Amino acid sequence: MSELYWFPEATDWRGRLRALAETTTGAWDQAVALANTRLDFVKTNALDSTIGKLFGGAPPKDLATKPIRLALLGSSTMGHLHAAIRVAGLRRGLWIDIYENDYGQYLQELSDPSSALHAFEPTTVLLALDAYHLAAGIGAHVSAAEADRLFAEITDRIRECWRLTRQNLHSPVIHQAALPLHPELLGNNEHRLPGSRQAFVARVNQELRAMADAEGVDLLSLDARVAADGLRVWHDPVLWHNGKQEISPLAAPLYGDLVGRVLAGKQGKSYKCLVLDLDNTLWGGIVGDDGLAGLVLGQGSATGEAFVAFQQYARELSRRGVILAVCSKNDEANAIEPFDEHPEMVLRRGDIASFVANWNHKPANLRAIADELNIGLDSLVFVDDNPFERNLVRETLPVVAVPEISDDPATYARTIADAGYFEAVSITDEDRDRSRQYQSNREREALKASTTDLGSYLRGLEMQLIWKRFDQVGLQRTVQLINKTNQFNLTTRRYSEEDIIALIQDKRAFGLQLRLIDRFGDNGIIGIVIGRMSGDDELLIDTWLMSCRVLGRQVEPTTLSLVAEAARRLGARRLIGDYLPTKKNRMVRDHYERLGFSVVETRADGGSRNILDLPAFEPASTFIEVREG
Amino acid sequence: MPEADIYATLGEIFRDVFLRDDIAVTPELTAKDVADWDSFKQIEIILAVESQYRIKFSTRELDSLQSVGDLARIIAGKV
């Protein structure tokens, strides 16, 4: 299926598009809302062209994300895919500028420093070599040895493209697996014909996985999509002969969304939390009316098994780092009972990080869930079988993702997977530990409730702050935090992997990653600070961000002591801390003042510059033990 | 299907594709007459027609297209 079927149909599409074209304020938000509807390729192109005219090719000034400059390097026509990629970015609050190489000239442009590609200065390169191109020279007449030689040649060329991208463009690479579009010659045992083009392309696609892992390249797995959707959705031989379009324009919205997912995933901007309704979403029936014994769940009926399969999918997601929450209109005791008592339940109470069951409006409850978990509303995916609740949430909280699901539980998992909400380019230890971390949080809250004074509570936590300079091992997590932290973030500067690698090598700068451990467990990396010398004796705090999970636990003053020490070693006598306001970081407006900095400049937009004299600075005493690790 | 219906539908498709409502969709209209009508727009029109009428153009039919009149004739022959 090439449709973005998990989005709702746009109501009054033509009217809303016309209104957008004529709007003067709030155009970006209106456009994002339209991008989050079920767009086909004509609507996608129309929305893109309207945006292009509205913004004149430059991102809106107050955009909270770093604009992306994406170079498409390919061997077939890709011009019909640009609009869909830009719209997929828009859907995720990302501005994307696109460059495409002159037809077939990808290698020449990569090698030539005076090419338009170099002048474009891409922040990401998407390398898309089509199957006809990869299999050039291969044919049924070719011997096994010759096929092996051609295989080595093409994989070497791909590696060379990656190397040139890194070396000349300093940009990360996304590599697109080729569509399996050659008709077979043998059939089911095609792999036994050394010169089969179909088998050759499959072999290259297979090898790409190991190559990409070895070289830190991310993949766009179109071959996996073809397995799910069918080749006819993705490729139309009529259009290949007509205009050398490897990817059918009908599949462009889906293609664009796949690219958007990987770009957002690389920035750690994917959704984080799956919020589940209960009655007729996790089990069949209404627990308050039908009782525990009346629920349709588990062996005995196809419907009951479908609900079990959906619960299993949710549990698999949670085991790889997606947070699970429950939002249900129910009496709490009724809602909890199946989790504790029903023998066929896959999900248990401990799998749910935030459990909200009451009779309030769901939008209010979703806010409560986001607050409890200390994540943004824009991290939530809300699954509910009831169209009324879905529409209410969409209208009240447009940043929450609400998939259109059918009334058949057998389709729920596939729909959520196809929507790609939780796209991640890698899996970190933090991801694996996340559900345990949230469970520990509940235990911490319980300790807090049972301890009356804050000092003894903090002492009782037995906290250790473990600091380390930026390094290769922590690179992905560092970049993830830098690009997704919005609230406790003094400057909201976004950096790529390449930026951080440059920083590691800069002798007049430092980057600190901070991990917090307490008696309930490891909170993972919870803070990032980047300092850069400016002038002989001043150190500018370029970036200071923290996870909101650890607020109110004296991590800030403890971190300041570490920053002061690192700054002194570089010869600094003063720390300079800037607060650059955004829509989301008001909570840190007085951060530096609270830590004893003097405000030396206040700006009209609410921003400030603050200074701390290092010779006079006395580190605060806290309940946190500090060590390097 | 009456020819007038086909031209009315084509008019809607042209409005959605070119985001203009001042294009007179007549049998004589060709790509040269509309500013943005390039090869990408050509395919966009074809695919919009295909999904509207649930039909499919063959490679020969695509090669033979010269004007909106050709397009309307092929549609009339298929629906």
In this structure, what CATH number is given to the domain that contains residue A617? Answer: 3.40.630.30
Q: Helices A302-319 and A429-450: crossing angle, nearest 10°?
A: 90
> Which pLDDT belongs to residue A452?
58
Does A461 score more than 90 pLDDT? no
Q: What is the CA radius of gyration of chain A?
A: 26
- CA distance to partner chain B, nearest, from residue A249 (Å): 8
The pLDDT of A285-306, averaged and rounded, is 90
- Condensed to tens digits (0 to 9), the pLDDT of residues A23-64 reads 888 889 899 999 999 999 999 999 999 999 999 888 888 887
Residue A19 lies in a domain: no
A42 touches chain B (CB under 8 A): yes
Residue A112 lies in a domain: yes
Residue A443 lies in a domain: no
Does residue A601 sit in the same domain as residue A570? yes
Please state, rounded to an integer, the average pLDDT across all residues of chain A: 91
Least trusted range by pLDDT, from A297-306, A427-436, A548-557: A427-436
Return the residue in A43, A242, A246 with the most chain B beta carbons within 10 A, the one to mutate for interface testing.
A242
Cβ-defined contact of A42 to B44 (cutoff 8 Å): yes
The pLDDT of A429-433, averaged and rounded, is 74
- Condensed to tens digits (0 to 9), the pLDDT of residues A602-623 reads 999 999 999 999 999 999 889 8
- Condensed to tens digits (0 to 9), the pLDDT of residues A312-330 reads 999 999 999 999 999 999 9
> Which pLDDT belongs to residue A82?
97
> Which pLDDT belongs to residue A564?
95
Exposed/middle/buried for residue B7 (C-beta within 10 Å: 0-12, 13-18, 19+): middle
The pLDDT of A441-457, averaged and rounded, is 69
B45 touches chain A (CB under 8 A): no
Structural domain count of chain A: 3
Domain ranges of chain B: 3-78
> Which pLDDT belongs to residue A587?
84
- Condensed to tens digits (0 to 9), the pLDDT of residues A368-423 reads 999 888 889 999 999 999 988 999 999 899 999 999 999 999 999 999 999 999 99
Least trusted range by pLDDT, from A118-122, A260-264, A287-291, B21-25: A287-291
> Which pLDDT belongs to residue A337?
93
The pLDDT of A568-574, averaged and rounded, is 94
| Chain B residues within an 8 Å CB radius of A15 | none
> Which pLDDT belongs to residue A300?
81
Residue A455 lies in a domain: no
> Which pLDDT belongs to residue B43?
92
Which pair of structure tokens corresponds to residue A532? 């850069």
Does residue A287 sit in the same domain as residue A378? yes
Which pair of structure tokens corresponds to residue A88? 């997929």
The pLDDT of A242-253, averaged and rounded, is 93
- The larger pLDDT score, comparing residue B63 to residue A472, is at B63
Domain boundary among A235, A266, A297: A266
The pLDDT of A99-104, averaged and rounded, is 92
Rounded Cα gap, residues A424 and A267, in angstroms: 9
Does residue A158 sit in the same domain as residue A184? yes
Which residues are CB-neighbours of A488 under 8 A, at least 6 positions away? A545, A546, A547, A548, A551, A585, A587, A588
- Condensed to tens digits (0 to 9), the pLDDT of residues A71-95 reads 999 999 899 999 999 999 999 989 9
Does residue A203 sit in the same domain as residue A118? yes
Return the residue in B47, B63, B65 with the most chain A beta carbons within 10 A, the one to mutate for interface testing.
B47
> Which pLDDT belongs to residue B67?
94
Which residues are CB-neighbours of B34 under 8 A, at least 6 positions away? B18, B23
| Chain B residues within an 8 Å CB radius of A239 | 43
- Domain spanning B3-78: CATH superfamily: ACP-like (1.10.1200.10)
Does residue A280 sit in the same domain as residue A330? yes
Does residue A500 sit in the same domain as residue A622? yes
Is there a contact between A182 and A135 (Cβ–Cβ < 8 Å)? yes
Does A443 score more than 80 pLDDT? no
| Chain A residues within an 8 Å CB radius of B13 | 42
CATH code of the domain containing A135 = 3.40.50.1110
A591 pLDDT band (50/70/90 cuts)? Answer: very high
Rounded Cα gap, residues A616 and B4, in angstroms: 86
> Which pLDDT belongs to residue A485?
85
Does residue A137 sit in the same domain as residue A174? yes
Residue A224 lies in a domain: yes
- Condensed to tens digits (0 to 9), the pLDDT of residues A480-538 reads 889 888 889 999 999 988 899 999 999 999 999 999 988 877 778 889 999 999 988 99
B59 touches chain A (CB under 8 A): yes
- Condensed to tens digits (0 to 9), the pLDDT of residues B32-71 reads 999 889 989 999 999 999 999 999 999 999 999 999 999 9
Does residue A253 sit in the same domain as residue A290? no
**Pairing assessment for the beta strands A354-358 and A68-74 based on DSSP bridges:** unpaired
- Condensed to tens digits (0 to 9), the pLDDT of residues A148-162 reads 999 999 999 999 999
Give residue A558's domain range: 462-628
Cβ-defined contact of B47 to A245 (cutoff 8 Å): no
> Which pLDDT belongs to residue A556?
93
Supply the ipTM of this predicted assembly: 0.87
Does residue A315 sit in the same domain as residue A170? no
Does B17 score more than 70 pLDDT? yes
Residue A56 lies in a domain: no
- Looking at the partner chain, which of B13, B19, B39 has a beta carbon nearest the beta carbon of A49? B19
A189 pLDDT band (50/70/90 cuts)? Answer: very high
CA quadruple A9, A12, A18, A21: dihedral positive or negative? negative
Percentage with pLDDT > 90 across chain A: 73
Does residue A238 sit in the same domain as residue A98? yes
Tokens 């600091």 appear where?
A467
Is there a contact between A44 and A256 (Cβ–Cβ < 8 Å)? yes
- The larger pLDDT score, comparing residue A334 to residue A430, is at A334
Residue A55 lies in a domain: no
Residue A349 lies in a domain: yes
| Chain B residues within an 8 Å CB radius of A39 | none
Does residue A218 sit in the same domain as residue A292? no
Q: Please indicate, yes or no, whether the overall pTM of this predicted structure exceeds 0.90.
A: no
Domain boundary among A218, A239, A266: A266
> Which pLDDT belongs to residue A1?
59
| Chain B residues within an 8 Å CB radius of A45 | 17, 44
A54 touches chain B (CB under 8 A): no
Does residue A340 sit in the same domain as residue A482? no
A450 pLDDT band (50/70/90 cuts)? Answer: low
Is there a contact between A191 and A202 (Cβ–Cβ < 8 Å)? yes
